[in-house]
């Protein structure tokens, strides 16, 4: 059923012969409503008739049509959507046609929880037959709003519940080629390499992904997303991160360039807290960036915090706190690493 049918010239239910046997049930706001809602006449009548068939539990073609009209008037009414599912199941309606109805409603309501819940219900019923359609539908949403949480959540559910992993990493690559700052695409890429049953898992993909991420960082070191992604590639394996030569190399490249240094310095600070042994070149790069007002006797970690206090003034209090507690942070981080290693060995 096309939702555009609902928008045609509306005939009041009381004038429709096929509804003559139904007694509408008005909304009960009590004897003295404090702030009654000024519903339109069409909305009030439609909901009065909906309450009548809902109370009667009428699972008919006309009931389905009524829910279409009620949804068109208020796509967020979860009771109407739930009853529609009951009617659809009772009538054995072709759910592919129902998807077209949802497509139409969703066009102007892409962040409506009820619509996405209904869509998932349909996809569950259709199974593998729904995979291609659902992945294409979310692509269409992303072309309008690349960070639509509902669409990303739905897409991840489809992949995990129904499949369709084959081209997902390539799709993430396409999104990042279009916009390297698309943090939702970075998040999806991480989801794919850690969840896809076709790629072998995080450890198996790490080297390729580190290569890609480091290349991206060199091209846009001011972009926080690849720095975050790089951390994620070494989740629960900090020692491998500390020992990775590519990580040390990209830090040196960024810190000796004329680009933004904030994310590189923050990353280096965390590495040092985990026991990273910097090269003399890295130490010299930090010295060059250190404000002249700083004491030459400062430790490397405190020098980094001092630089960040100047280059990242929005978080100056945070960097000041890091400077004052860096010794404690280092001890805590390294203890956590030792425990993690023991857990992995066990």
Q: Comparing C-alpha atoms, which of 234, 228, 164 is closest to residue 194?
A: 234
Q: 273: Cβ–Cβ under 8 A, 6 or more apart, which residues?
A: 301, 326, 329, 330, 333, 334
pLDDT of residue 7: 52
pLDDT of residue 301: 94
pLDDT of residue 3: 60
Give residue-wise pLDDT tens across range 298-320: 899 999 999 999 999 999 999 99
Q: How far apart, in whole angstroms, are the C-alpha atoms of residue 207 and residue 202?
A: 9
pLDDT of residue 1: 45
Which tokens belong to 165? 């992993």
Mean pLDDT of the chain: 92
| φ/ψ of residue 17, rounded to 5 | -55, -35
| φ/ψ of residue 181, rounded to 5 | -90, 5
Query: Could you tell me what percent of the chain has a pLDDT over 90?
Result: 83
Concatenated DSSP letters of 87-143: HHHHHT--HHHHHHHHHHHHTT-TT-HHHHHHHHHHHHHHGGGGHHHHHHHHHHHHH
Which tokens belong to 295? 């004491």
Which member of 8, 14, 100, 111 is catalytic? 111
Q: How confident is the model at residue 13 (pLDDT cuts 50, 70, 90)?
A: very high
Give residue-wise pLDDT tens across range 126-155: 999 999 999 999 999 999 999 999 999 999
CB-CB contact of 308 with 262 (8 Å): yes
pLDDT of residue 341: 64
- For residue 30, pLDDT over 70 is answered with yes
Q: In the predicted model, what is the mean pLDDT of residues 159-170?
A: 98
Give residue-wise pLDDT tens across range 205-251: 999 999 999 999 999 999 999 999 999 999 999 999 999 999 999 99
Biggest CA–CA distance in the chain, Å, is 91
CB-CB contact of 11 with 45 (8 Å): no
For the question of residue 111 being annotated catalytic, the response is: yes
pLDDT of residue 5: 55
pTM score, whole prediction:
0.89
Give residue-wise pLDDT tens across range 288-301: 999 888 888 889 99
Give residue-wise pLDDT tens across range 115-126: 999 999 999 999
CB atoms within 10 A of CB 154: 21
Q: How far apart, in whole angstroms, are the C-alpha atoms of residue 185 and residue 229?
A: 11
- For residue 345, pLDDT over 90 is answered with no
CB-CB contact of 308 with 272 (8 Å): no
- For residue 95, pLDDT over 70 is answered with yes
Give residue-wise pLDDT tens across range 59-91: 999 999 999 999 999 999 999 999 999 999 999
């Amino acid at each position: 059923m096309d939702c555009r049918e609902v928008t045609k010239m509306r005939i009041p239910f009381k004038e429709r012969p096929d509804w003559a046997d139904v007694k509408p049930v008005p909304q009960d706001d009590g004897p003295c409503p404090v702030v009654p809602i000024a519903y339109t006449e069409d909305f009030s009548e439609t909901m009065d008739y909906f309450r009548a068939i809902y109370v009667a539990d009428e699972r008919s073609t006309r009931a389905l049509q009524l829910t279409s009209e009620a949804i068109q008037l208020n796509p967020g009414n979860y009771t109407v959507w739930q009853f529609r599912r009951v009617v659809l199941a009772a009538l054995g309606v072709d759910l592919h046609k129902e998807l077209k109805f949802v497509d139409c409603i969703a066009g102007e309501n892409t962040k409506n929880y009820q619509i996405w819940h209904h869509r998932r219900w349909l996809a569950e019923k259709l199974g593998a037959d729904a995979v291609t359609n659902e992945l294409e539908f979310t692509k269409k949403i992303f072309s309008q709003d690349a960070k639509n949480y509902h669409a990303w959540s739905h897409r991840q559910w489809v992949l995990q519940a129904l499949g369709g992993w084959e081209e997902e990493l390539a799709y993430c690559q396409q999104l990042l080629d279009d916009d390297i700052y698309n943090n939702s695409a970075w998040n999806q890429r991480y989801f794919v390499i850690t969840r896809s049953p076709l790629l072998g898992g995080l450890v198996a993909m790490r080297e390729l992904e580190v290569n890609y991420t480091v290349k991206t960082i060199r091209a846009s070191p001011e972009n926080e997303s690849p720095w975050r992604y790089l951390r994620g590639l070494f989740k629960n394996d900090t020692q491998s991160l500390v020992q990775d030569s590519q990580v040390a190399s990209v830090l040196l490249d960024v810190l000796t360039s004329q680009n933004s240094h904030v994310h590189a310095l923050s990353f280096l600070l965390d590495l040092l807290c985990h026991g990273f042994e910097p090269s003399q070149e890295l130490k010299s790069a930090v010295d060059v960036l250190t404000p002249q007002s700083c004491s030459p006797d400062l430790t490397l970690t405190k020098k980094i915090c001092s630089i960040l206090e100047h280059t990242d003034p929005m978080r100056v209090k945070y960097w000041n706190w890091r400077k004052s507690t860096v010794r404690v942070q280092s001890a805590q981080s390294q203890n956590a690493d030792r425990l993690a290693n023991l857990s992995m060995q066990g």
